[in-house]
Amino acid sequence: MPLPRVAPERPERSKSACMVHRRCPRDSMGLSSGSRHSSNFSLRSQVSTPPEEATRPATAEAMPRCTTPPTLTATADSVRNDSTFVKGIRCGKPPSAGTLTSRYPSAARSILPRRKVPSDKVTVSASDQRGAKSSQKCFIKESIHTNGRRVANLRVSRCPRSMQLDAIILGAGPAGLAVANAMVRQGAQVKVIEPSSRPGGSIRTVREEGWLVETGPNTLQIEGEADQALLDGYGLGKAIQVADHASAQRFILSQGKLHALTNKPSSLFKGDLLSWRGKLRFISEIFRPRGGSAEETVQAFMTRRFGAEAADLLMDPVVSGVHSGDPSRLCMANSFPSIPAFEASHRSVILGLIRQPPKGRQIIGFPAGMQQLADAMAAPLLTEALQLGSMATLIRQDARGWNVAWRNAQGQDEGAFAKHLIVTAPHWQWASLPFEEELKKTFREWERAEAPPVTVVARGYDRSAVAHPLDGFGYLIPGKEKRQILGCLFPSTVLPGRTPEGKVLLCCFIGGARYPALARQTDEQLRATVDRELAETLGVSGPPEKEWIQRWDRAIPQYGVDQSRREAALAHAEAKNPGLHFHGAFRGGIALMHVIRAGDALGRSLAKG
């Protein structure tokens, strides 16, 4: 039975006032409270009312009044994402459980998934013409139909100035915080959606009884005045702690002995890490012709340029320490792009290193740990902009930008519209994001991208319990040594304020691409492994005074030989979907400062237009 036409409760009002919504909602497009009865959705299109609708006669007999304004009720099973989509119209009755209710028909279109509506249901069609952002164009004309017959008209507030954001950012790790901070400082309005209860992503700082322990990134490497200025912008310029000069010395474990290396090439030739044949082969790199391919692995490149001995004893431990990776599977051009670039531009990696200008690199930390960096980056966002404990529940694109809905930490549904959507969540989380199926196909290429597990075991000892002087940054272990840890750092040597007086801190890494199963050992097995390794390499005796274990099921992205193809797929998705951006350690580089630097550049670029 067709619905009777509903008469307007009062004469047609001017275009400067909303008939359904007396004032523009102040919140973003989404549910403004936990109630599912009275939710305000913000929309952006503006349309004037056709003259024939304003003059259409209506009688009280033909159109019985509702005691409350009509409410359009839509369910996820009855809505499609185009111009016809509402299941029913009710007068003054509360919605049934499990429905999303709005007085604004287009709100349902913006947040509910696609599904075709049967032709005998009540539908709503919207005429959507974008115009200038003026107070007189804060409306959209909605026509309610049933069985092809128009039965009512509504004018719905869209209030673009109060509802539109410049960007919505998924993830509050260093990548997302860098983008958001840069945009906010340029005057942009953003929302950052983060599932966890704290900002910082993989940054993990533990402070306990005078101990300061990093179970994520331990330090930050900065280069030059630009990085210094960036940290100054976060308010950290005076808080920087520069690493002790002893940290310039690193150790490589070979044949049960720790071999010291420094930034000076002479340390390699004075020491006995390489044999005399290995040293001659290493220095002969200067005379080697160019070669290789774009998909050459790290192992193949280093063997071709420097010989097998140098590849096994020098590059292999670096790869395991930096990437937790396997040099026979990582792509050189993607993982260490500057090294093949030296070969291309100078014919020799050694000559390229000699000729490059000094970069002023420094290893730094902060008095309150790396979490101080994350907190400083998040500080400008600690209002409504940073949504911690929130999960994205819907992502939909239209011609104007991106509609995103999420459930906040209080269990309430919210949403917003933005021109830009920046995905900074780790690539292994993309499949769970509520993108439309067509876009999710892009992510399937990334489902095969490796990020092997790593477990961090940090231990505090009395100084007398460790025989080694700990006069360096730490030590790494080549794969040919067949050890059960990847390496160990000496944080109490590198930066001050990490331990109580008379104590030392050691931080061991287990697993990675080399031995992923070892990262999944029980706590007791991990303790036995670390006890044995530290006793043999550093002369540690007795149990630790303190211990912290952090498990990373997915740690560092591995830039394999198919990384370029995956990155090309992302670039194609960005080009095909205007306003969509991907940023993080999964592309372009894994170094923390690189991620922050690139995120800042992206944020400033988007804020400018």
Predicted confidence (pLDDT) per residue in 317-364, tens digit: 999 999 999 999 999 999 999 999 999 999 999 999 999 887 789 999
Same domain, 170 and 151: no
pLDDT at 98: 38
- Domain range for 350 is 274-363
Q: Which residue has the tokens 């998924």?
A: 170
Tokens for 518? 């070892």
- Are 68 and 178 contained in the same domain? no
Q: Determine the average pLDDT of the residues in 236-258.
A: 94
**Span 103-127, average pLDDT:** 36
pLDDT given for residue 567 in this prediction: 93
Q: Is residue 223 part of a domain?
A: no
Question: How confident is the model at residue 164, as a pLDDT?
Answer: 84
3-state secondary structure of 106: helix
Can you read off the two tokens belonging to residue 299?
């192992």
Is residue 578 over pLDDT 80?
yes
With contact defined as beta carbons under 8 Å apart, do 473 and 247 qualify? yes
* Residue 17 clears pLDDT 50, i.e. is over it: no
Residue 301 structure tokens: 């490149």
Domain-embedded: residue 85: yes
* Residues 172 and 152 both lie in one domain: no
Alpha-carbon span 499 to 373, nearest angstrom: 20
Same-domain pairing of 8 and 73: yes
pLDDT of 150 higher than 50: no
544 pLDDT above the threshold of 50: yes
pLDDT at 281 over 70: yes
Q: What is the DSSP letter of 289?
A: P
Of 162, 213, 159, 153, which Cα lies nearest the Cα of 457? Answer: 213
Q: Do residues 133 and 27 share a domain?
A: yes
pLDDT of amino acid 91: 35
Mean pLDDT is lowest, of 28-37, 213-222, 348-357, 549-558, for 28-37
327 belongs to a structural domain: yes
Spatial distance between the Cα atoms of 37 and 72, rounded to a whole number of angstroms: 11
Tell me the residue type at 514.
R
- Residue 44's pLDDT is 34
> Could you read off the pLDDT of 427-438 as tens digits, one per residue?
999 999 999 998
Q: Which two tokens stand for residue 376?
A: 């400083």
Integer Cα distance of 208 and 507 in angstroms = 16
CB-CB contact of 362 with 242 (8 Å): yes
pLDDT of residue 20: 34
pLDDT bracket for residue 383 (50, 70, 90) = confident
What is the predicted pLDDT for the residue at 266? 84
**What letter represents residue 121's amino acid?**
K
The residue ranking higher by pLDDT, 536 or 23, is 536
Q: Could you please report the per-residue DSSP string of 477-523?
A: --GGG--SSSEEE-HHHHSSSSS-TTEEEEEEEEETTT-HHHHT--H
Give the strand pairing for 139-146 and 149-157.
Answer: antiparallel
Same domain, 444 and 580: yes
Same domain (yes/no): 146, 171: no
Q: What is the pLDDT of residue 442?
A: 83
Please tell me the chain's helix, strand, coil percentages from 3-state DSSP, rounded to the nearest 5. Answer: 35, 25, 45
Split into its structural domains, the chain has a count of: 3
Does residue 279 share a domain with residue 178? no
Q: Are strands 386-388 and 190-194 parallel, antiparallel or unpaired?
A: parallel
Report yes or no on 239 lying in a domain: no
Mapping DSSP to helix (H, G, I), strand (E, B) and coil, where does residue 362 land?
A: strand
Q: What span, in angstroms and rounded, lies between the C-alpha atoms of 544 and 536? A: 15
pLDDT score of 255 more than 80: yes
pLDDT attached to residue 273: 96
By DSSP bridging, strand 139-146 and strand 386-388 are: unpaired
- 555 has a pLDDT exceeding 80: yes
Q: Which tokens is 334 given?
A: 């993607």
284 and 325 assigned to the same domain:
yes
- Sign of the alpha-carbon dihedral angle for 284, 290, 294, 296: negative
Residue 192 belongs to some domain of the structure: yes
Q: Which amino acid is at 67?
A: T
Q: Are residues 90 and 197 in the same domain?
A: no
Looking at residue 373, its pLDDT comes to 98
Residues 79, 112 within the same domain: yes
Q: Is the pLDDT of residue 108 over 90?
A: no
Q: What is the pLDDT of residues 462-503, one digit of tens each?
A: 999 999 999 999 999 999 999 999 999 999 999 999 999 999
- Clarify whether residues 437 and 585 are in a common domain: yes
DSSP 370: H
